[in-house]
Amino acid sequence: MTLSLSRRAFALGLPTTALILGALPRVAGATAASAPTDAVTPLAQISIGRFTVTALSDGYGDMPFGYFPGRTAEQVEARAQFAARPTGIRFVFNQYLVKDGERRILIDTGPASSLGQTGQLPDALAARGIRRDQLDAVIVTHLHQDHLGGLVAGGRRNFPNAEVYVDRRDVKHWTDPAKQVRAPDYLQNSFSFSGELVRLYPRLQAVDGEPGIMRGVSIVDLTGHTPGHIGVRIEDAGQRLIMVSDMLFPVVHPAAIGGQLPV
Ligand SMILES: [Zn+2]
């Protein structure tokens, strides 16, 4: 199902990750001129200067209509990208592989079987000839379980050679026992996975502000969805791509796109 999505999905905003394109005309031109060379057809792929950004998927989860309080099933479905009748809508969990010919960076790691039909990211990487121990860096946009899970699934350090970057405010929030005690059930995995993250990755890079990760890759502060929600800016050769996650949910945040649903 996911492989049938076109590159246009980038611009439309995939369910769990959306992209904001900077310098759009130049990006569009670069995209058209740079056909993927990998053997596996990508979910979506775009080139920014020397970088290639490829969308991967860890799988999907079907969320019940009751997950969106205050809206009827019809209102929710009208805004959803994928319906999962009769019970709800389908969320696809995406991650992004960024390569520049030298380094491999992964943005987010998926729920890793902790919810829905997920756990496919290792296979998605393998299909592109990449093992998890070959990732140089993993940037986690925030410490919700569907972005963090793959790092710690099975209680193991699944990306043993990667520098792992997370905003310091999220590390503080999601490892605070007092906050975990007060948190609802659906956030408990995010807390427990965050504890695992700190335990398994002692060299975790807890970043402040908007630092550069490497030449052409830097952090964007997007605090709001979580205290330390971040995006990733990729720029090279006059082209720029800002990658964001969980900001443009048409169902959850209708006002953000000019929708008419009650909030
Ligand atoms: Zn989130």
State the pLDDT at residue 40. Answer: 60
> Could you tell me what percentage of the chain is helix, strand and coil, using 3-state DSSP and rounding each to the nearest 5?
30, 30, 40
Looking up tokens 């970088």 gives 51
Ion ligand 1: residues, CB < 5 A: 144, 246
3-state secondary structure of 11: helix
What is the rounded CA–CA span in Å between residue 57 and residue 250? Answer: 20
CB 20 within 8 A of CB 244: yes
Q: What sign does the CA torsion over 123, 129, 133, 136 have?
A: negative
What is the rounded CA–CA span in Å between residue 18 and residue 241? Answer: 11
Going from the Cα of 254 to the center of ligand 1, the distance in angstroms, rounded, reads 16
Give the model confidence (pLDDT) of 73-118 as tens digits: 888 777 776 666 777 788 889 999 999 999 999 999 999 999 999 9
Is pLDDT of 263 > 80?
no
| Parallel, antiparallel or unpaired: strands 137-139 and 230-236 | unpaired
State the pLDDT at residue 249. Answer: 60
Residues 6+ apart with CB under 8 A from 13: 19, 248, 250
Going from the Cα of 146 to the center of ligand 1, the distance in angstroms, rounded, reads 7
Tell me the sheet residues that pair with 164: 138
Going from the Cα of 32 to the center of ligand 1, the distance in angstroms, rounded, reads 31
Going from the Cα of 60 to the center of ligand 1, the distance in angstroms, rounded, reads 15
What is the rounded CA–CA span in Å between residue 136 and residue 198? Answer: 18
Give the model confidence (pLDDT) of 20-67 as tens digits: 433 332 333 333 334 444 556 667 899 999 999 999 999 998 888 877
- Average pLDDT of the chain, as a whole number: 81
State the pLDDT at residue 27. Answer: 31
Mean pLDDT for the stretch of residues 205-227 = 96
Integer angstrom CA distances of residue 124 from 89, 138, 165: 23, 16, 21
Going from the Cα of 143 to the center of ligand 1, the distance in angstroms, rounded, reads 7
pTM of the model: 0.80
What is the rounded CA–CA span in Å between residue 211 and residue 228? Answer: 14
Token duo for residue 9: 């999905």
Going from the Cα of 252 to the center of ligand 1, the distance in angstroms, rounded, reads 11
